[in-house]
Chain A
Amino acid sequence: MFTPHTDSEREEMLRVIGVRKLDDLFADVPIKLRFPNLELPPAFTEIEARMQMEELAGANETAHDLACFLGAGAYYHYTPAAVDAIIRRGEFLTAYTPYQPEVSQGTLQAVFEFQSLIANLTGMDVSNASHYDGATATAEAAVMAYHHFRGKRTRFILSPSLNPQYREVVKTYMGGYENINLAGENLDPLCQPDDLASLLDDNTALLIVQYPDFFGRIFDFTALIEKAHQFGALVAVAVNPMSLGVLKTPGAMGADIAVGEGQSLGLPLSFGGPYLGFFATKKEYVRKIAGRLVGETADAEGRRGYVLTLTAREQHIRREKATSNICTNQGLMALATTVYMSLLGKHGLKQLANLCYQKAHYAAEQISKLDGYSVVSQRPFFHEFVVKCPKPVDEINWHLLDHDILGGYDLGQDYPSLAGHMLIAVTEMVSKDEIDALCEALEEVNNG
């Protein structure tokens, strides 16, 4: 235990200032406003404390214990043991953001590798050192577009099939700017790219779409992006990076910005965080992006070295003129995904994405055969799909939990018109047997 002062030191200090006991210092605070006496039980020994914590933790049911069909933005994937082994090294685990960055060559190189992998994966020119999570990275895209047009364009179109949490965070970030017009919320949640195109105008700064969208659907946004560019607007694509093992990249579709949640690349679900936001864009916008950038260079003797680059963009120099006042990055999480991506490699990621795709399509096919259930997703989807259910989703999910199955996401929570619709995610972590067990349990609910 850390005690800054001993009892005798305290007594000496009290004596010097002429106070008898510590409580006398708070005499002016009414008793009812003072911190109450907690009446705590006697302190546990380490053994007892550990036993109690384990007992409490044992009451949790985690994705690991259940057959997990819940996704909606955070996905249960396998993380190779090497990821944890590397990020737990003290040099990485306990390092704080480098204030004299060039001294920390290892940290900078790790960030540089992360940036290179993300730029490659998304098909974009440049990536920053990361953001807090997918939602904040998406919001930074809106902030960048605002500054790109110097506040002269004020319309932001958010696809209704953008993760609802991302939309909320974009709203929060943009709340401080004047006359911002956020459009798209009133569209049918399951709308098509053409419906979004009809909202574009000369005042549109940014169009944000998700890919695969929140409902798992895959659209090729090439034509929509072209249309947006005709209006002079920028387009940001929020993408599930895992899907890029098999799908066309945002870069190939012409996107100006690619953002997303990096959790699926080797980070545990962990009750919602810490996660990892990534942000990549075209080279022409590099001076407008938020966050830190690491570059590779050579020192005076020609040796390879890593530096923070384009730092004049950052808030410690530009202050109120900076695009964003957040330069924090998720260093450790970025390192974890970097290790994960390098372990899987290009082919491993493709195999894994394919496995998720195949299993999800098997599940959808089986569920579509069940009485009372229908698969709403009528177009290509990645590893997530929408099922219309015969009973309220939460009722079904309680029943599934009795069978050790973590059911899908209740879409009625965010979309009133989709009450009774469940979003089911399937990753490599569920087996065919578990998919079949899900179908049996779903059938039981319908008959019961």
Chain B
Amino acid sequence: MNIPTNLKYTNTDEWVLVDGNTATIGVTDHAQEQLSDVVFVEITVNVGDKLAKKTTIATVESVKAAADVNLPVSGKVIAINEDLPQTPELVNTDPYGKAWMIKVELDNPAELDALMDAAGYEKHTKE
């Protein structure tokens, strides 16, 4: 299982890449493994939306389950991965790269402190 050390993680299997005041969000390798073959991704928010932490931002559907993706930090949506709904299999093949879902401008960078680091997430996935 791939858990990059440069990312932050939630206990609901989202990852966050922080670059200055911008956070990129997706789902983890562990999440895609649990879901199995992803057949559908719908991003349910729009650029410009101001969202609170834990808002549902996307729905991911696999051949055996459907799951919501929740926003780990509050912020304003500045970009959406428009290509992902056309190529949902990227969630399986490149969860930390091409399968990014949205980018937000952070409201409150202090919220990042509540997220797990790679070691913490690895421990979480084994619980």
Q: Tell whether A pairs with B.
A: yes
Q: Which chain B residues (66-83) contact chain A, with CB distance < 8 Å?
A: 66, 68
Chain B residues 54 to 103 lying within 8 A of chain A, measured CB to CB, are 59, 61-66, 68
In-complex Cβ contact of B68 among A287, A312, A317, A321 (8 A): A321
B88 to chain A, nearest CB (A): 12
A287 CA to B64 CA, complexed, in Å: 14
Chain A residues positioned under 8 Å from B42 (CB to CB): 287
Which residue, A312, A318, A321, has most C-beta atoms of chain B within 10 A?
A: A312
Q: Which of A183-218 contact B (CB under 8 A)?
A: none
Inter-chain contacts of B64 with A (CB < 8 A) = 312, 317
In the assembled complex, the CB of A286 is this many whole angstroms from the nearest CB of chain B, namely: 10
Partner of B40, one of A150, A287, A317, A321: A287
Q: Which residue of A lies closest to B42 (CB)?
A: A287
Q: Which residues of B contact A287 (CB under 8 A)?
A: 40, 42, 61
Closest residue to A314 on the B side, CB-wise? B66
Size category, B interface: 10 to 19
Kindly state whether residue B44 has any CB partner on chain A within 8 Å: yes
Q: Which residue of A lies closest to B35 (CB)?
A: A312
- Contact across chains for B44 and A312 when beta carbons are under 8 A apart: no
For the complex, what is the distance from the CA of A318 to the CA of B68, rounded to whole Å?
10
B109 vs chain A, min Cβ distance (A): 29
> Across the two chains, which residue of chain A brings its CB closest to B66?
A312
Is B66 in contact with A150, judged by CB distance below 8 angstroms? no
In Å, the complex CA distance between A363 and B68 comes to 58
Residue of B nearest to A319 (CB): B66
Least CB distance, B31 to chain A, in whole angstroms: 15
Contact call A321/B66, Cβ cutoff below 8 A: yes
Measured between beta carbons, the chain B residues less than 8 angstroms from A312 are 39-40, 61-66
A323 to B: closest C-beta gap in Å = 11
Q: Which residues of B contact A321 (CB under 8 A)?
A: 59, 66, 68
Residues of A in contact, count (CB < 8 Å): 7
Closest A residue, CB atoms, query B44: A150
With A287-B40, A312-B40 known to touch, is A317 a contact of B65 (CB < 8 Å)? yes
Chain A residue numbers with a CB within 8 Å of B65 are 312, 317
Cα–Cα distance between A357 and B34 once the two chains are bound (Å): 58
Determine the distance from Cα of A312 to Cα of B44 in the docked complex, in whole angstroms: 17
Tell me which residues across on chain B come within 8 A of A318, comparing CB atoms: 66
A314 to chain B, nearest CB (A): 9
Q: How far is the CA of A321 from the CA of B58 in the complex (A)?
A: 12
How many whole Å from A290's CB to the nearest CB in chain B? 15
Shortest CB-to-CB span from A73 to chain B, Å, is 36
B89 CB to closest chain A CB (Å) equals: 15
| Cβ distance A339 to chain B, nearest Cβ, rounded Å | 33
Q: Nearest chain-A residue to B45 (Cβ)?
A: A150
Tell me the minimal C-beta distance from B1 to chain A in angstroms.
Answer: 24
Which chain B residues border A150 with CB–CB below 8 Å?
A: 44
Distance from B16 Cβ to chain A, minimum over Cβ atoms (Å): 23
Which of B39, B65, B66 has most A Cβ within 10 Å?
Answer: B66
CA gap between A287 and B59 in the complex, in Å: 11
A411 to B39, CA, bound (A): 50
Q: Residue on A with the closest CB to B59? A: A321
Chain A residues contacting B68 (CB-CB under 8 Å) are 321
Binding site for B on A (CB under 8 A): 150, 287, 312-313, 317-318, 321
Interface pairs (21), CB distance under 8 Å:
A150-B44, A287-B40, A287-B42, A287-B61, A312-B39, A312-B40, A312-B61, A312-B62, A312-B63, A312-B64, A312-B65, A312-B66, A313-B61, A313-B66, A317-B64, A317-B65, A317-B66, A318-B66, A321-B59, A321-B66, A321-B68
Q: 9 shortest A-B CB distances, which residue pairs? A: A312-B66, A312-B61, A318-B66, A317-B66, A317-B65, A150-B44, A312-B65, A287-B40, A321-B66
With A312-B61, A312-B63, A313-B61 given, can you name 7 additional A-B contacts, CB distance below 8 Å? A150-B44, A287-B61, A312-B39, A312-B40, A317-B64, A317-B65, A321-B68
